């Protein structure tokens, strides 16, 4: 009886070990036959978290006559969507809006709103100015008034990035090259967004380098919202991306641990049964 139980215990252990080996072999074969991509992102969780860089950010928006009322509403939606992607706060990103046509109006300053709801309400109240397209004057106003410490910009010693995003659909009626160069020299990073009839050469004169990273163009205001994700990526400081385990390595290791634990438990139980049978045989022999 004792020898039978010992043999049973030994065979059971061999059987479970064989199961584990068979799993490893079939796993390796399936992996070689249909190797998955090395890095697969879960679409539901990609770009799930992105904290924007700490910025002093000024939007400079064209509301000249060429921008129809419905199109200007699209611009405001774009601004509101952009605010949603930012980490807004007194010690995080501060936002201002400069509105321009033939005149320039600072809609709100960097120091005016410290939370997203207030900022979005202020954006919803912006009205177009109509008439000309004085883009150079708007950039100069942003540099000399919106980006000052009195208006809420952080001191240069804080090394907070200063960013201007210009949105226009026309050709400037004043000079933009020199004032844009002065703005960039003062430490302002300029992104130029052109819509529909926007003059590409003017966008390039305004924007920071490399131009391929700072000049954007969309066909109509109706699709300007597609730039939101682009700017989110551009202004992102910390991105948390959840990556699936394409080779299922974690699942494999978990299976191995579970199987090994089962083998150990079964071996222990069989050893216990074997010991009890041995004691029973000794009692019978004494009788």
Residue pair 204/232 in contact (Cβ under 8 Å)? The answer is no
**What does pLDDT average to over the chain?**
80
What is the DSSP secondary-structure string of 43-106? TTTTT-EEEEPPEEEEEEEE-STTS-HHHHHHHHHHHHHHHHHS-BSTTSBEEEEEEESSSEEE
Report the SS3 class of residue 287: coil
Percent of the chain at pLDDT exceeding 90: 59
Least confident of 85-94, 117-126, 261-270: 261-270
Q: Which CATH class is domain 49-240?
A: alpha beta
Q: What is the pLDDT of residues 133-167, one digit of tens each?
A: 999 999 999 999 999 999 999 999 999 999 999 99
Q: How many CB atoms lie within 10 A of CB 190?
A: 25
Task: State the number of CA atoms in the 13 A half-sphere of 144 facing the CB.
Answer: 10
Beta-ladder partners of 205: none
pTM of this structure: 0.66
CB 274 within 8 A of CB 1: no
- pLDDT tens track for 216-269: 999 999 899 889 988 988 888 644 444 444 555 555 666 666 766 666 676 666
Residue 245 φ then ψ, to 5°:
-100, 90
Cα–Cα nearest to 169, from 283, 61, 17 = 61
pLDDT of residue 225: 87
Per-residue model confidence (pLDDT) at position 27: 42
Angstrom distance (rounded) from CA 192 to CA 130: 20
Q: What is the pLDDT of residue 33?
A: 44
Three-state DSSP state, 167: strand
Tell which wins on pLDDT, 283 or 133.
133
Distance (Å, whole) CA 48 – CA 241: 7
Domain locations in the chain as residue ranges:
49-240, 244-276
């Amino acid at each position: 009886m004792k020898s039978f139980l010992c043999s049973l215990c030994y065979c059971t252990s061999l059987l479970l070990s064989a199961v584990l080996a068979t799993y490893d072999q079939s796993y390796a074969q399936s992996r070689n036959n249909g190797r998955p991509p090395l890095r697969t992102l879960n679409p539901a969780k990609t770009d799930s978290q992105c904290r924007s860089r700490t910025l002093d950010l000024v939007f400079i928006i064209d509301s000249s006559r060429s921008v129809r009322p419905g199109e200007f509403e699209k611009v405001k939606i774009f601004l509101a969507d952009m605010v949603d992607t930012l980490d807004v706060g007194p010690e995080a990103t501060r936002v201002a809006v400069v509105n321009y046509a033939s005149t320039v109006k600072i809609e709100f300053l960097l120091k005016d709103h410290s939370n997203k709801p207030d900022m979005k309400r202020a954006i919803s109240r912006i009205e177009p100015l109509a008439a000309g397209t004085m883009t150079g004057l708007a950039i100069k106003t942003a540099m000399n008034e919106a980006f000052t410490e009195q208006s809420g910009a952080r001191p240069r010693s804080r090394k907070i990035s200063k960013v201007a995003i210009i949105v226009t659909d026309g050709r400037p009626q004043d000079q933009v090259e020199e004032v844009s160069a002065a703005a960039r020299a003062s430490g302002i990073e300029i992104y130029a967004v052109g819509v529909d009839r926007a003059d590409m050469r003017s966008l390039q004169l305004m924007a920071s380098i490399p131009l391929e990273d700072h000049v954007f163009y969309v066909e109509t205001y109706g699709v300007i919202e597609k730039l939101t994700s682009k700017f989110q990526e551009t202004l992102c400081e910390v991105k948390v991306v959840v990556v699936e385990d394409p080779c299922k390595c974690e699942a494999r290791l978990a299976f191995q641990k579970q199987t090994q634990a089962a083998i150990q438990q079964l071996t222990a139980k069989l050893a216990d049964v074997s010991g009890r049978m041995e004691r029973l045989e000794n009692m019978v022999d004494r009788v």
